[in-house]
Amino acid sequence: MGLMPKIPVAEWISSATEWITDTFEFLFDFIKNDFGDFIEMFAEDWLMNIPVWLFIVIVGLIAFFVSGKRFGLMAFSVVGLWFIANQELWEELMNTFTLVIFASLICVIIGVPFGIWMAKSKVVEKILTPILDFMQTMPAFVYLIPAVAFFSIGMVPGVFASVIFATPPTVRFTNLGIRQVSHELIEASDSFGTTGTQKLFKVQLPMAKTTIMAGINQTVMLALSMVVIASMIGAKGLGQTVITGLQRAEVGTGFVAGLGIVILAIIIDRFTQNLNTQRGE
């Protein structure tokens, strides 16, 4: 092993990160301050100002209609949310919810266009596939380190780390959804003289919708799974309570907060799945 000195990969990456931090400081500061303020405002001034009972009623109603006027999802949502409120974890829930919503939104905004680009070009697909593999297999904790370097601690680095970890499914499923639109339908579209954009919006995206939505559902679930990890760098929410429970060895506290995450996960999952019903089927 003495033949070659250790390659200083770690040092390179560290200095690269430092360089990025310094060079784009203005951008990171802007995101950290303005976007951070906005997220905080969303969670604390808007969501937390809605009376708990009203919030539960609204979610219950949406659940009722989204699930095709059935009572199951509505009952679960109402009871689940009431339980979290009862355990005095409402503020934490709102913070977690905010983090998941913002992270997922950014994932979709970034992920869908990349997925489309990937579907349209074989070269792009070949380049992006290993990058996506990398993003998903790298332990999520690792993302916390540059996140802190760029954005110090709080919600914003939490969102940042979640976005890196949770974007790949949206990209992959968008690509897959577009590629699996049948060849004959593409021919039909072409034979009527569609432009590339017309074909995308009138045929490919509508046909790929189910698959893309499945990808978005995965993205949301991954973002939610980052909640506990992100709270290690100060993202507020249910994850923080879990960490507190861990540090103080309070099994009950940790378990109840964990249960809150599970309830939120089930509600979000069923909501996004139910939204995913295709016309004409």
Partner 1 sequence: MPIIQVKDLSKIFGKQAKKATQYLDQGLSKDEILEKTGNTVGVNRASFDVEEGEIFVIMGLSGSGKSTLVRLINRLIEPTEGSVYIDGKDLAKMDKKNLRDVRREKLSMVFQRFALFPHRTVLENAEFGLEVQGVDKEERAQKAKDSLELVGLGGYINQFPGQLSGGMQQRVGLARALANDPEVLLMDEAFSALDPLIRKEMQDELLELQESMKKTIIFITHDLDEALRIGDRIALMKDGRIVQIGSPEEILVNPANDYVEKFVEDVDRSKVLTAEHIMKRPETVDVDKHGPRTALERMRKEGLSTIYVTDAKRNLHGYVTADDVSEAAKQEVKDVKEILRTDIPKVDKDTSMHEIFDVIHDSTVPVAVVEDGKLQGIIVRGAVIAALAGSEVNLNGSDA
Q: Are 275 and 195 in contact (CB under 8 A)?
A: no
**Residues 59, 77 contacting (CB under 8 angstroms):** yes
**Half-sphere exposure of 109 toward its Cβ, with a 13 Å CA cutoff?**
7
Give how many residues touch partner 1 by CB under 8 A: 21
3-state class of 51 per DSSP? Answer: coil
Of the candidate residues 19, 65, 192, 201, the single one contacting partner 1 (CB under 8 A): 192
Q: Is 194 left (phi over 0), alpha (psi -120 to 50) or beta?
A: beta
173, 116 Cβ separation under 8 angstroms: no
* CA pair distance 176, 117, nearest whole angstrom: 12
In the region spanning residues 166 to 185, those forming contacts with partner 1, defined by CB under 8 A, are: 182, 184-185
Interacting residue with partner 1 among 20, 209, 253, 274 (CB under 8 A): 209
**Residue 197 in the binding site for partner 1 (CB under 8 A):** no
Closer to partner 1 by CB, 137 or 182: give it: 182
What is the 3 state secondary structure string of 15-35? HHHHHHHHHCHHHHHHHHHHH
Nearer to partner 1, 195 or 247 (CB): 195
Closest CA to 155 of 73, 76, 85, 97: 97
Does residue 281 interact with partner 1 by CB under 8 A?
yes
Least distance in angstroms from the C-beta of 201 to partner 1: 11
By CB under 8 A, residue 277 contacts partner 1: no
Residue 34 or residue 187: which is nearer to partner 1 going by CB?
187
3-state secondary structure 59-110: HHHHHHHHCCCCCHHHHHHHHHHHHHHHCCCHHHHHHHHHHHHHHHHHHHHH
CA triple 279-224-35, angle to 5 deg: 95
DSSP 8-state secondary structure symbol assigned to residue 192:
T
Interface with partner 1, residue 202, by CB under 8 A: yes
d(CA 268, CA 272): 6
Q: Which residue lies nearer to partner 1 by CB, 194 or 225?
A: 194
Distance in Å, CB of 220 to partner 1, minimum: 23
Which of 41, 58, 75, 188 touches partner 1 (CB under 8 A)? 188
> Which residue from 86, 121, 180, 198 is in contact with partner 1, where contact means CB under 8 A?
198
For residue 274, which of 216, 232, 219 has the smallest C-alpha distance?
Answer: 216
Taking the least distance from each CB to partner 1, the nearer of 84 and 207 is 207
Applying CB under 8 A, among 2, 130, 139, 280 the residue interacting with partner 1 is 280
Interface with partner 1, residue 6, by CB under 8 A = no
**Which part of the chain contacts partner 1 (CB under 8 A), choosing from 34-42, 66-74, 101-109, 187-195?**
187-195
191 binds partner 1 (CB under 8 A): yes
116 binds partner 1 (CB under 8 A): no
Query: Whole-number minimum distance, CB 270 to partner 1, in Å?
Result: 23
Residues at the site binding partner 1, with contacts judged by CB under 8 A: 182, 184-185, 187-188, 190-195, 198, 202-203, 206-207, 209, 278-281
